[in-house]
Amino acid sequence: MIETQNRLHAHSGPSRISSMSSTSRNFIVGLITAGLLAVGLFQMPVAHAQPQTIDEVLRAMQAERRAVSETNQQREERFRREQATQEAELRRLRGEVQAAESEATRLENLRNQLDRELDELRAQLAERQGEFGELFGVARAAAASLNEQLQDSLISTQFEGRGDDLVRMAQADRLPTIQQLENLWFTMLQEASEQGRVARFDAQVIGDGNQLARETVVRVGPFTAFSESGFMVPSDGTLRYLARQPGRAEISAARRAFNHTGDGVVRGLIDPSLGTLLGLVVEVPNLQERVAQGGGIGYAIIVVAAFGILLALVRWLMLTITALKVRSQMKSSTPSKGNPLGRIMLAYEEHRQSDLETLQLRLDDAVLKELPKLEAGLNVVKVLAAVAPLMGLLGTVIGMIVTFQAITLFGTGDPRMMAGGISQALVTTVLGLIAAIPLLLLHAFAAASARRVGQVLEEQSVSLVAETADQG
């Protein structure tokens, strides 16, 4: 087509082009140029000048087609080379996969073979062990049981780390050695012998504030360990002071035993439960905590009891002093205003010249004036003695209400939820009774003293009247 166009261009090109108007020629050239730019603009490495003639356009198209053809051939050759390379790599990878699969199959067969050989060897071992296999089981069980005992033993705080060999022996999967069996036997004998000894040694002790310090400790068999500061209990291989120590008598006994170094016998304190009872001392509330369980009613009962007891003691003491003064006045003929009998005698001296009936009335009046002074405060003590148990009963009712409220909210699954109300009920009852008993006793003693003094005053007033009648 290009050659035909060239021939046409050679024979008749000038006449046609000359016959075309300049406008048509420019339109055709622009149209062809736009088509070339749309087809091959992305492949043109260098910008060319705009063709001016059809021949230039054709030559440009031919050059462009040749460039595109060469580029496509280069791409095809590159794609063929890459395809060959990729196929070679694919064949290599497939070969490696086949080799790996073959190796995995070989290893799987080898593992199965080794498992069969291991089972055969285990069977041979079990057959050849015979009774030694039973010995192995017994030794492992004994080591595990003894190690469990040693973990909670107070003696282990003196001999640290003695259970490590037992743990390894209990967890071993082969026959124990002679040394391990001897160590098991030795540990058993050591535990048995140390249970009957009192030992003094240095050990790590957890004190206040969880501070670890080394102190001298006295151990009484597997039962009790203590120092001058108090008793201890085992805790994870070490010793720990009790959060709350027993009473002073127990602490004094521990100090005597700790400081005892000579011969002879000294009294001490041991815990036959191997520390359980001493550990429960922390859970037992002291007197202050017991009183606090009674709540506001409990404190009110204590205030009432203290006031009533103080008042009763004061009145009893005053009545005792008054009785002594009255006895002293009975031995003296000189009346004194400092005692009831003296004041009655002064009234007798004042109305001695009156007739017997008037004198009797005057003395009775003087005695009646002294009796209220003798009985002052006793009625208050009596009322408080009756009010204290009533307040305890009130606290009991309040505590039971609290208990039933806890049962309503939380049920009866956890008894500790009801402990607060029950404690308040019982503690207030106890406080009420404790307050009422001494108040009643003190009121009885004070009232008896007042009655004795009053009886003496009445007897002396009658005696004075009788003496006056005899003289008249």
- What pLDDT is stored for residue 145 in this prediction? 86
pLDDT of residue 39: 43
Write down the pLDDT at residue 50: 65
**Structure token digits, residue 314:** 């004061």
Spatial contact of 181 and 189, defined as CB atoms under 8 Å apart = no
Q: How far is CA 258 from CA 5, 229, 234, 248, 271, in A?
A: 132, 10, 18, 15, 16
Cα–Cα distances (Å) from 381 to 300, 387, 440, 446, 449, in that order, read 16, 10, 8, 10, 14
Q: Residue length, the chain?
A: 472
> Are 312 and 381 contacting, i.e. CB atoms less than 8 angstroms apart?
yes
* Positions in the chain short of pLDDT 50: 1-24, 27, 29, 34-48
Q: What is the pLDDT of residue 108?
A: 92
Q: Quick one: pLDDT at residue 42? A: 37
Question: Mind listing the pLDDT tens digit for each residue in 112-163?
Answer: 999 999 988 888 777 766 666 677 778 888 888 888 888 878 888 888 878 8
- Residue 107: the pLDDT is 93
pLDDT of 472 reads: 57
Question: Positive or negative, the Cα torsion across 29, 31, 37, 40?
Answer: negative
Neighbours of 42 (CB within 10 A): 6
Report pLDDT digits (tens) over 367-395.
888 888 888 888 898 899 999 999 989 98
Domain residue ranges in the chain:
2-79, 130-195, 199-284, 293-471
Q: Give tens-digit pLDDT for 26-69.
A: 545 455 554 444 444 434 444 445 667 888 888 888 888 888 88
